[in-house]
Amino acid sequence: MTDSVEVLVWGGGTGGMAAALQAARSGATTLLLTPGSWVGGMVSAAGVCAPDGNELSPWQTGLWGALLRELARAEPLGLDQNWVSCFGYRPATAEAILRRWLRAEPRLQCWPGCRLLEVRRDGDRIMALRVERPQGRGGEQHAIQDIGAQVDIDGSDRGELIALAGAPFRLGWEPREQWQEPSAPPQARLDSEPFFQDQPIQSPTWVWLGQLDEEAAPEVPRDSPLPQGPFAGSCTAFGLERTLTYGRLPGGLVMLNWPLHGNDWHGGLQRALASGRPAAAFPADAVEAELAAQMRSHSGAFAQALAVASGGRLQGAPVFPDVSAAAVGALEGNQSLALMPYWREGRRLVGLEVVVEQQLLPLGAGACRAPLPLLPGGGSSAIAVGNYANDHHYPGPDWPLAPKSCRWGGRWSGTPYGQWRHPAATPGAQRGPGGGAGGGPGGAARPAASRRSGGRHSEGPDRGPPGPGRSLSALGYPLASPRVGPTSTAGLGGSCRP
């Protein structure tokens, strides 16, 4: 027996959660399937609680603006806590808000802890998704269920439903010759340099949260060496104190999501995308379990190195519940490592149109924003607005990028842009590369060919405003028709990627 809903969303990160929420608010019966127990993705479960981007009030709209206002009310110490972002909050604060939003929608069901087993197709049409779902309060028992939908949306961090559905996708680097993007590497370098084979996607991070002793003197003890080994150079650019307070959160918490010889993980990332089989909850099998253990160990080692260098000022903070406690609804616990890793890049659905870097850059002398996408007959084809100074996360020196920053209100900020869409199509999902490497987790909700495997996908910059922010203004558009391949749903851009 196959149950049926109008909209089915796989993946409960920021993009998937927002897609499900707005689908239900638009009147559609909606089912959100998430492999984890939390629904916030990068803004809560992955611990990236100092999202940078969209600092300017004109871009604090849609669900992103609503989330900021709720966070400000819930955090009595305020959100302006750190130097990388205007927004810092505790993971449980965001997760509680998002859960409350989901519960308020009568047309929306959320099933946590699910495993995506199979996509049933009839030719190029997706007929149903087969999932394994935990039963009972403790989730000890499992049931297998087939679910059909008029629209299926992939809101996962690595495009798991896209792969399992057999829909065409892009992954990794793309040459400058393909889209003429100024920050992309030329084909000759992609063919000749081992770096591009060793680093097929941007490096993820397993975020670690610590507690900083605010009473202790900030001076570095004379006998405490700065981090060495794999973390040598992590404090060179900004110094130890600014490295520690980069992601300060309320109450003296600090977020370690540090790209400069810090806890980004660079090794063996092919393992995360090789099989195309989705994870039930990371890790799902021996290969991903090994990768997860390496990422967690690396972040813990970086935190320990900073703790030693700080003379003990930095200690692990009891923030996240363990997996078993999270499964029964816990919002807090004794764990310092986030519940899931922060993936910056995954599969990108092949589409009718591609948003390229040139559409996001300030073009011409003195320009301070990207060109506004206009239709020939007047009006704008934009489905979203945002601003972010794009960058990339790879080992080694900073990747050279075309400038994407300008001064607004006395500070540097990312170039404001409007996300373009094909004028003949319904609004499309936003995701993808600014220089050949695509967006990331908690990232875009991708239409996954509910009625047609192959569909439209407007690929955007590798980095964007915070997860519920990049394309949330697009979410007011009507949902796509059942032919989701060439007529995709409103997009939900990627995530802030510090």
Provide the 10 A C-beta neighbour count for residue 235: 23
Asked if 174 and 433 touch (Cβ cutoff 8 Å), the reply is yes
Q: What are phi and psi of 181, to 5 degrees?
A: -75, 125
| 443 pLDDT above the threshold of 80 | no
Note the maximum CA span of the chain: 69
pLDDT tens across 303-334, in order? 999 999 999 999 999 999 999 999 999 999 99
Q: What is the pLDDT averaged over residues 149-166?
A: 92
Model confidence band, residue 120 (pLDDT cutoffs 50, 70, 90): very high
Q: Which residue has the higher pLDDT, 380 or 167?
A: 167
User: What is the C-alpha end-to-end distance of the chain, expressed in Å?
Assistant: 45
pLDDT tens across 330-376, in order? 999 999 999 999 999 999 888 777 878 888 777 777 777 777 777 88
Q: What is the pLDDT averaged over residues 429-442?
A: 29
| 280 pLDDT above the threshold of 70 | no
Give the strand pairing for 169-170 and 208-212: unpaired
* Whether residue 373 has a cis bond before it, omega within 30° of 0: no
d(CA 298, CA 296): 5
Domain ranges of the chain: 197-327
Give the pair of three-digit tokens for residue 200: 């097929």
pLDDT tens across 469-487, in order? 222 222 222 222 222 222 2
CA distances from 21 to 124, 442, 468, 492 (A): 27, 14, 11, 12
pLDDT at 430: 31
Q: What is the CA radius of gyration of the chain?
A: 21
Model confidence band, residue 442 (pLDDT cutoffs 50, 70, 90): very low
Q: What are phi and psi of 118, to 5 degrees?
A: -160, 150
d(CA 354, CA 352): 7
Contacts of 10 (CB under 8 A, 6+ apart): 16, 33, 116, 129, 152, 153, 154, 155, 156, 160, 161, 278, 448
